[in-house]
Amino acid sequence: MGGPELLILFAILLLFVGASRLPKLARSMGQSKKEFHKGLKEDQSAEGPCPFCGVEVAEEAKFCPGCGKSAEEIIAEKKVTSA
Ligand SMILES: [Zn+2]
């Protein structure tokens, strides 16, 4: 066996190992991305009872239907009360 054959063998081995590892890698990457988005969403959603008036606020709502506070104010107030 000469140099080129070894190189080809190495390339095949690398391809094989890489191919078997790729799905796992992609899955773990997708999972962390999902977790990241989940955390981001939880952090930025005003969904749930309004901390100012107690009225249920929809997940995508920009303002509270009860007191008119903005989603940003509700999220900030929730952080204060839950901390
Ligand atoms: Zn409110």
Q: Find the 75 Cα to ligand 1 centroid distance in Å.
A: 11
Rounded to 5 degrees, φ, ψ at 77 are -70, -35
Rounded to 5 degrees, φ, ψ at 10 are -65, -40
Cα dihedral 60/61/62/68 (nearest 10):
-170
Task: Classify burial at 58, counting beta carbons within 10 Å of its beta carbon; exposed 0-12, middle 13-18, buried 19 or more.
Answer: middle
Q: Find the 59 Cα to ligand 1 centroid distance in Å.
A: 14
pLDDT single digits (tens) 8-17 = 998 888 888 7
Q: Are residues 67 and 80 in the same domain?
A: yes
The secondary element (H helix, E strand) that includes residue 57 is strand 56-57
Residue with tokens 């309004």: 50
pTM: 0.48
Q: Are residues 34 and 54 in the same domain?
A: no
Domain with 16 in it = 1-44
Q: Find the 66 Cα to ligand 1 centroid distance in Å.
A: 5
Q: Are residues 37 and 55 in the same domain?
A: no
The one-digit pLDDT tens for each residue of the chain (83 residues) are: 567 888 999 888 888 877 777 777 778 878 887 777 766 655 678 899 999 999 999 988 999 999 999 999 999 998 887 66
pLDDT of 52: 96
